[in-house]
Structure 1
Amino acid sequence: MDWLYLIIAGLFEVVWATMMKLSAGFTRWDYSLYTILGIMLSFFFLARATKVLPLSIAYPVWTGIGAVGAIIIGVIFFKDGIPFLTWIFIGLLIICIIGIKVTSGH
């Protein structure tokens, strides 16, 4: 269950980052509230995950999920241009996240 909490925390990391972008610098109150709610839920689930998982494992996975998710959202919804070489490093980041999970012993 701890890994599920960590994945949910990472997904809410993507939610709040996306809502922050849509808030237009916190000038749109609706998206600003969604940003705050996303932050709260992300931290809540991260805290739940770190009851069992070591911080040295949970934190990099959490930020990695958030980073990769934000990249995907940026490319799909905000038409961010990502150079081919950058995609290779994004792939390596995904491999590293999986590697941390597989080798962590948790």
Structure 2
Amino acid sequence: MSWYVLVVAGVFEIAWAVGLEYSDGLSKPLPTAGTVVALVVSMLLLAKAVETLPVGTAYAVWTGIGAVGTASLGIVLFDEPAELTRVFFIGVVVVGIVGLHLSSGGH
């Protein structure tokens, strides 16, 4: 169950990171509020996950999910470059996340 909580925490990390773009430097009240809520939920879920998962593994997976999701949405939503090398290294992060999951005995 902790892995599911961790994945959801990672999704909320993506939400707050993308929210930073929409909040325009935290100057727009509604996107800023959504960003703050997503940040708090993400942290609370991460805290819940580390009750049973090793903190180093959980943190690496959490940030990895956030990095992959945010970089991918940056390409889709904000017209950031989708160069082959960039996409390749996003894939490398995914491999790292999967490797951490498998090596920790998570199912």
On whether the aligned pair clears a TM of 0.5, the verdict is: yes
In the TM superposition, residue 29 of structure 1 has moved relative to its aligned partner by 0.5
Equivalent residue, structure 1, for 2:84: 84
Aligned length in residues:
106
Could you list the structure 1 runs, at least 4 aligned residues long, displaced by more than 3 angstroms after superposition: none
RMSD over equivalenced CA pairs, Å: 0.8
Structure 1 unaligned runs (5+)? none
Deviations 1:38-70 (A, max 9, x none): 000000100110000010110000000000000
In the TM superposition, residue 105 of structure 1 has moved relative to its aligned partner by 2.1
Structure 2 unaligned runs (5+)? none
**Alpha-carbon separation, structure 2, partners of 1:49 and 1:12:** 14
Equivalent residue, structure 2, for 1:10: 10
What percentage of residue pairs aligned between the two structures are identical?
A: 36
TM-score, normalised by the number of residues in structure 2:
0.95
**Alpha-carbon separation, structure 2, partners of 1:25 and 1:37:** 16
**Alpha-carbon separation, structure 2, partners of 1:44 and 1:103:** 25
